[in-house]
Chain A
């Protein structure tokens, strides 16, 4: 299994999902070797064996070397690519890079790469190197595995290299697509090309929602017969809900996540302004950071609601739980969300949630309220209803809690195991 990150050192939800998947697979009797670019050594290896790509030297046998390089050298590694930035940041990164010495991938015999395993400006270079190391690892461990599973575009090339060199079946797992990161006409074509290549080379494509499945079929032109949805789950084991003394008496409505175009922060702000016109018994919190944060702050100030609309900045670990514990309503107004794990976390913390219909989570959550992301009036209505009508809130809270507790990785990975079995 090729991944990019694994708890505890994670930047996004991908690492958490990977952990849930390997644990769930272990429960279902499937062993995994988990390859990642930069392991720290403090990962929980109870359910998987972690292979650190930074520790592996790329060794080339005579004939296979050329073949191997042929496979990976279609990549131009002199250009910068960043998965989650806006055009301005991208421009700045390019400008910065121009000033620095540009790295060429000169692969020597027996050379180790030091991966950052992050999402930095030289990501494409790392992706290319990871593919080479991935291929090498696959050859070294060829008799230890039956199937290759690659998570998101960062690892697809490694998956392809491993498949080419070992002939074993490849499953690519689509946690997000380029269309979730940019808008329709502004996707990164180089990432798109890698994604498409990975999906085409794969024997099965697993998507985290039907929403993502239809993107894979319609936007990437993949044969529907080989695209399977396995909805995400969430691992709440060992988690106790904390209780926090409240400082504010009003109801608290929370948005928690990256403040980016994809997450729809402006719809939340507009809805907040509408609700505040009708009741003062409410405060809104936008927790997180991102490239739209400053714009969001300006929007709040312009609407004149900054005494009722608070920003916390990026929250870590315990503060996230604290924020949920302080919330009465959770909002995920995403414009495009392949799945969206945060409302599950909120509902597990007894917080009723309103999510956009344009999210994968909407396919599995029956007890979350659902609105179109652009329908600010509907969002305002639902917020108002949840804070004003206790019967609705307590119903959504109780049923939602039970519902998310039943979304287990063990069930999701049982489905995944069937996918594997169909290929062996």
Chain B
């Protein structure tokens, strides 16, 4: 049996908030920094999404459909594509139409709802599913939660929503001596198969590729192929941000050429094949159940949820936001749901992270605020306005 390579790319852009001051509360309910969102989206489309889609499309065609990848696209990024760069949607659609690209399910707003509000989680997953059907004409069967957040409990919910496959992190503290290079199943829900990210080989591309101080630099497709072959399991799961290609790692680093060369080289070897996540779990049996009582993720050294909920600022903001779900359900107003969803994007909490010392570099790169405190103040000002709107709507309804 050939060893499977499963490539999956996360595509997401947050809906960044404008500078929202105390004086705006109760007066101005436009929360978003449209200019920044448009500028960044257009830049990333030009540097990454469009050229990289082209690279992948050519690789699929050149290899006669044997090269396969998977994407997850958040509702937040799709809304921005729609608004600022619709040509990106066309180019993803073209990829999906090859039949070699799988689109995964997730929460529409790239949110942390799975950690606190099962009904809201379900709502967002179904909203995302509708969106994927509408835009791409396919129904997702594999699921990846925001930032690969997973626990036994979340796995059970995902299975109940109709997914057979779920992606998560091969976190060292969970795996122990076990290898991430096999298929596992969810504890308690044996029919939900788990694919675990090989963080070593994934991060070689997404983090280390362009680092001249890395002892393996420069990384060639030939060298990398050797590592893939040396991996001892049945499947190697390479999961990463799609923005790795051309945005986080600039095109000058040769990262696109690397991805251009890799598929043909790997297929020519004979012992490797590319699979999508749903194919992977059809092809490989689960070797064991994986017990994950506490939520894990692919973020930071801790591989837990502390990047979003690690300090009291994040927890208070998170609880205040989700404290509104009951009222929102009563109102069921699409405009309010929309703003709630955008405020639920995990990125806003990420900006409030105070873990500066171990993973500060990564956090700073993604953060539009100078300090986590500024991020918190701005977010709470916006949220305060939103709470006023919700309460007024409730009062009107009664």
Contacts and interface: CB of A to CB of B under 8 A. Distances in A.
Contact of B23 (A247, A293, A301, A306): A247
B26 A326 contact: no
Nearest to B387: A307
Interface of A: 245-249, 283, 285, 287, 293-294, 297-298, 300-302, 304, 306-308, 310-313, 319, 322, 326
A301 B313 contact: yes
B373 A326 contact: no
A285 B377 CA distance: 11
B373 A310 contact: no
A246 B26 CA distance: 8
Contacts of B21: 312
A310 B313 contact: no
In the complex, the 7 A-B pairs of residues with the closest C-beta atoms, listed nearest first: A247-B26, A247-B27, A301-B316, A301-B312, A248-B26, A301-B313, A311-B377
Interface residues of B, number: 28
Contacts of A287: 22
Contacts of B183: none
Contacts of B237: none
A293 B371 CA distance: 12
A310 B376 contact: no
Contact of B312 (A246, A298, A319): A298
B377 A297 contact: yes
A253 B312 CA distance: 24
Interface string B371-384: 10110110011011
B353 to A, nearest CB: 13
Contacts of B376: 297, 301, 306
A297 B319 contact: no
A310 B312 contact: no
Interface in B28-71: 28
Nearest to B386: A307
Contact of B315 (A246, A249, A301, A310): A301
Given A247-B26, A306-B320, 18 more contacts: A245-B27, A247-B25, A247-B27, A248-B26, A249-B26, A249-B388, A294-B371, A301-B311, A301-B317, A306-B380, A307-B380, A310-B381, A310-B384, A312-B21, A312-B23, A313-B374, A319-B23, A326-B23
Given A293-B373, A297-B377, A313-B377, A306 B316 contact: yes
Interface of B: 21-28, 311-313, 315-317, 319-320, 371, 373-374, 376-377, 380-381, 383-385, 387-388
10 contacts: A285-B22, A297-B313, A297-B377, A301-B315, A301-B317, A302-B316, A306-B320, A310-B25, A310-B377, A312-B22
B368 to A, nearest CB: 16
Nearest to B352: A301
Given A247-B26, A249-B26, A297-B313, A307 B320 contact: yes
Nearest to A245: B27
A252 to B, nearest CB: 9
Contacts of B316: 300-302, 304, 306
Contacts of A246: 26
Nearest to A247: B26
A304 B312 CA distance: 9
A302 B23 contact: no
Contacts of B24: 247
A250 to B, nearest CB: 9
A307 B22 contact: no
B348 to A, nearest CB: 13
Contacts of B22: 285, 287, 310-312
Nearest to B321: A307
Nearest to A312: B22
Contacts of B383: 307
Contacts of B381: 310
Nearest to B388: A248
Given A304-B319, A306-B317, A307-B384, A294 B373 contact: yes
A298 B28 CA distance: 27
Nearest to B381: A310
Contacts of B27: 245, 247
Contacts of A294: 371, 373
